[in-house]
Structure 1
Amino acid sequence: MDSRTDVLVIGGGATGTGIARDLALRGVDVTLVDRDGLSSGTSGRSHGLLHSGARYAEVDGPEARGCLEENRTLRRIAGACIRETRGLFVQLGDDDPGYFEAKRDACADVGIPTEVVDGETARETVPELADEVERAMWVPDGVVVPSRLVAANAADAREHGARIRTHAPVTSMTVEGGRVTTVTLGGAVDETLRPSYVVNATGPHAGHVADLAGVSVEMRPTRGVMVSVAYDDLEPVLNRCREPADGDIIVPHDGEVVLGTTSVAVDDPDDYERADWEVEQTASECAAMLPPVADADRVRTWWGVRPLYEPDEAARGGRGISRGFHLLDHADEGVENCCSIVGGKLTTYRRMAEATADLVCDRLGVEATCSTANERLPGASEPALLDEFVRQFDGQGPTDSDLVGR
């Protein structure tokens, strides 16, 4: 089959489905493809934190402010795709008090609301919090259910005319006269598309997809482990208030908590080591905040790969930096109808999608503006419907497999 489409979006994670939704709501003809089911990559293999911006406040104020804005937007539009928890940054006895104070001051500068409490007060909310916690800071973190979020974006895109093709890997592209003219799909879909514009939203695989179009995207993917253990009744996300390191976050679910994470460079985002030391170190470090998790039953373990952009990582110096996004217009390399969106984080997917859709609409001469910040996602008030969307798009990732369908 040989099909025309105005825009081909490659990649079925949060950013790709967000782009498809944004463009479809603007009346653009869109096809979205993914090589597997939706959420099969980074989005569905994360720890699922809805950032308040506090994690990045002292190193990147503008990005932290963007996280805070998107946090508030998702709470308005995403309903049961979000879990309304809070976040608690905790300082242990060996942690630098100056770091805590710098984060608190930076949050104030950004506009992130905080409340500082002593360790005893924090333990009134989290009774099994370590005795070594000297003080803590409340922030408006939350939890994302990524499988639902991605599927809801895809469902809304489909409702507005987009075609969603899962299990449809891109096998080749043809570039003629400085434009991508055809894209061939394999897998369960035997189809050749003739797009007017191509968006590469494939996360850590962006470099490979860019190669097919004869352009370059330099990626530095890193892997991180998540360990879900049995634990009841944790309300807030727990963050260790120190320079980012292994095992510094605990994300609450119902009857489980997710412990994370590590950061190890990988050469191939599909083929990398899954090391036992990462699991043990993550559990040990998280237990410094919440001791019972050290001996809790381990329910699930998975790794995710971060889609980090090499030039940005090299400029900033590695782990602990902000995770901003980068929109690359490949017209600068001689391919006029192609762009790549890389970096970023789950919390800011909608903002990433808006920036990408703005560029695409400018290239296509579409004057409609973004409405995704105000349009509530379908099924937002109906968890069962959201879970049906997940089923339809084969969109169940490991991050939230204990929450979806319950």
Structure 2
Amino acid sequence: MDTVLVIGGGATGAGVARDLAMRGVDVTLVERGDFASGTSGRSHGLLHSGARYVPGDPEGAAECIAENRVLKEIAPHCLSDTAGLFVQVAGDDPDFFEEKRAACEQLGIETEELSAADAREAVPDLAEGVERALRVPDAVIHPTRLTVANAVDAREHGATLLPRTEVADLIIEDGAVRGALVEDGSGEFEIRAEYVVNATGAWAGTLASMADIDLEMAPSSGVMVAVEYADLDTVLNRARPAADGDIVVPHDEQVILGTTSVDVEDPDEFERDDAEIDRMFAECGAMLSGLDRERIDRVYWGVRPLYSADRERHAGRGISRGFHLLDHAERDGIGGFASIVGGKLTTYRAMAEATSDRVCKRLGVDSACSTAEEPLLGRDEPGRIDGLVAEFEADNPADSDVIAR
């Protein structure tokens, strides 16, 4: 019997496996597809500075800037440290810009205000309507590299990795989850464990239902459009309340335009409307000139793993992007089981730490987290990571162009 079974091989699940394995816990990580093939590998890949979430969510912003600084230390090989600009476009509320700048300063998020001329000197292709900008320490995450690095780091600390292994059912005995019945290409088999972690993101409700647990998941889809564009090396954000088409994320020879927010019931089956693509060009074009629809490389939709106990009052962008650790022994009377839901790619490591702390407490493991200090596998030999990505045949649209190059 394994000590812990982690279900879900995105950044958070791989991060949990790494954290627990580094504490000496016997871990198996299963993922129904390739690593990062769910939300992580279908994101826009922005490493948030926290500036996006102020002034409305200072707690979430504080989490982001803290993890931003950690990841730049432990995983620079999985990032591009581009910095970012929040741009005020003609017609945007100037008071919002001022409130954002003041809130960033209050939280210790580094900022620098730029005039229109200075902003264009930094980013020559800014659109004509840009009036001023706020420089912040945003960056770009390459999520496939990040997730595979976490998974393989877990393996090097003794974890077992089982990609392309789908959970058919949970094993329930004496009021507790004691493992899972899984299926891979060779057939079905059981994985028994003292504790099971549900890190399946937008699919967390589906997995929890196998234990007759109702999770109030509120997934929302968003489109990302990757366009050939070689002249941007800074993240662009619109200095207005969160809305469609307010982020442009640079890659080496492309930009990713994002995103929309549409409530969905099933994260596997939902409508993909081409009108959302048109909206990205219209809205992102207010920040960056020269976007050409004829130069689209790929279009993909991701699904946010949002959690809301009150979907009637909170939906889409109104739901907090904070994370929730649900201990089902306390919440539902089902032992040996916890779900980590919500959150952002930026905060995956903090989510993994909180989850691992709870699991270790339940198992009586007296070992502290060290993932904020210990370099992520490959930091000192960054070329190794793409070889590991190839080993696992992980090919995800969020960063497929970067991995290919």
TM bucket, shorter chain: over 0.9
CA distance in 2, matches of 1:275, 1:295: 16
Q: Measure the CA separation in 2 of the matches of 1:82 and 1:389.
A: 16
Q: Is the 8 A contact 2:325 2:340 kept in 1?
A: yes
Q: Which amino acid aligns with 1:119?
A: A
- 2: CA distance, partners of 1:307 / 1:402: 25
Question: Could you give the per-residue CA deviations for residues 52-91 of structure 1, whole angstroms, max 9, x where no partner exists?
Answer: 0000020111211110010000000002101010100000
Contact 2:306 2:319 in 1 (8 A): no
1:17 Cα deviation from its structure 2 partner: 0.2
**Unmatched tracts of structure 2, length 5 or more:** none
Correspondence for 1:179: 176
Which of 163, 171, 178 is residue 166 of structure 1 equivalent to? Answer: 163
Q: For this pair of structures, how many residues does the alignment match?
A: 403
Of 23, 29, 35 in structure 2, the residue corresponding to residue 38 of structure 1 is 35
Whole-Å separation in 2 of the counterparts to 1:395 and 1:70: 25
In structure 2, the partner of 1:107 is: 104
Answering whether residue 373 of structure 2 is matched by residue 374 of structure 1, we say: yes
The one-letter code sitting in structure 2 at the alignment partner of 1:97 is P
Partner of 1:65 in structure 2? 62
Report the secondary structure of 1:227's partner residue: strand
Provide the rounded CA distance (Å) in 1 between the counterparts of 2:179 and 2:314: 37
For residues 381 and 318 of structure 2, what CA distance do their matches in structure 1 show?
37
Find the counterpart in structure 1 of residue 317 from structure 2. Answer: 319
Report if the CA contact (8 A) 1:228-1:298 is conserved: yes
Which residue of 2 is the match for residue 357 of structure 1? 356
Distance 1:36 1:317 in 2: 28
The alignment status of 1:276 with 2:274, answered yes or no, reads yes
3-state SS of paired residue (1:370): coil
Q: Which residue of 1 aligns with 2:344?
A: 345
Contact 2:9/2:35, CA 8 A, preserved across alignment: yes
The answer (yes or no) to whether the contact 2:322–2:344 under 8 Å persists in 1 is yes
| 2:227–2:292 Cα contact (<8 Å) kept | no
Seen in structure 2, the aligned counterparts of structure 1 residues 229 and 355 have a Cα distance that, compared at 3 Å, is same
What's the counterpart of residue 221 of structure 2?
A: 223
One of 138, 141, 144 as aligned partner of 1:141: 138
- Residues 313 and 234 (structure 1), Cα distance of their counterparts in 2 relative to 1, 3 Å cut: farther
| 1:333 aligned residue | 332
The answer for the alignment partner of 2:77 in structure 1 is 80
1:29 aligns to 2:62 (yes or no): no
The answer on whether the counterparts of 1:152 and 1:377 sit within 8 Å (CA) in structure 2 is: yes
Using the TM superposition, give the Cα deviation of residue 315 of structure 1 relative to its aligned residue in structure 2, in angstroms: 5.9
Cα offsets for 1:113-167 (capped at 9, x unmatched): 1000111110011111012111100000000000000000001100000000011
Q: Give the match for residue 266 of structure 1.
A: 264
**Which range is displaced more, 377-386 or 267-276?**
377-386
Q: Which residue is 1:402 aligned to?
A: 401
Partner SS for 1:388: helix
The alpha-carbon distance between structure 1 residues 87 and 297, as it changes in their structure 2 partners (threshold 3 A), is same
Give the corresponding residue for 1:11.
Answer: 8
RMSD: 1.3
Shift of 1:320: 5.4
Checking the alignment, whether the CA contact within 8 Å between 1:118 and 1:134 is kept in structure 2 is yes
Matched, 1:286 2:294: no
- Does structure 2 conserve the Cα–Cα contact (< 8 Å) formed by 1:87 and 1:238? yes
User: 2:310, 2:173 → 1: CA distance?
Assistant: 31
Distance 1:118 1:391 in 2: 44
The residue number in structure 1 matching 2:152 is 155
Counterparts of 1:51-62 in structure 2, within 5 Å, are 51-62=48-59
Q: Which amino acid aligns with 1:135?
A: R
Partner of 1:306: 304
1:297 and 1:338 map into 2 onto residues whose CA distance is: 47
TM superposition outliers: structure 1 runs of 4+ over 4 Å: 312-318
Question: Matches of 1:294 and 1:281 in 2, distance apart?
Answer: 13
TM-score by length of 2: 0.97
Name the CA distance, whole Å, in 2 between partners of 1:93 and 1:341.
Answer: 41
Conservation of the 8 A alpha-carbon contact between 1:56 and 1:321: no
Q: Partner amino acid for 1:252?
A: P
One-letter identity of the residue aligned with 2:6 = V
Q: Percent identity?
A: 56
Within 5 Å, which residues of 2 pair with 1:209-220?
209-220=207-218
> 1:320–1:286: structure 2 CA closer, same or farther, 3 Å change rule?
farther
Is contact 1:119-1:131 (8 Å) kept? no
Indicate conservation of the 8 Å contact 1:245/1:320, yes or no: no
Task: Give the letter aligned to residue 330 of structure 1.
Answer: H
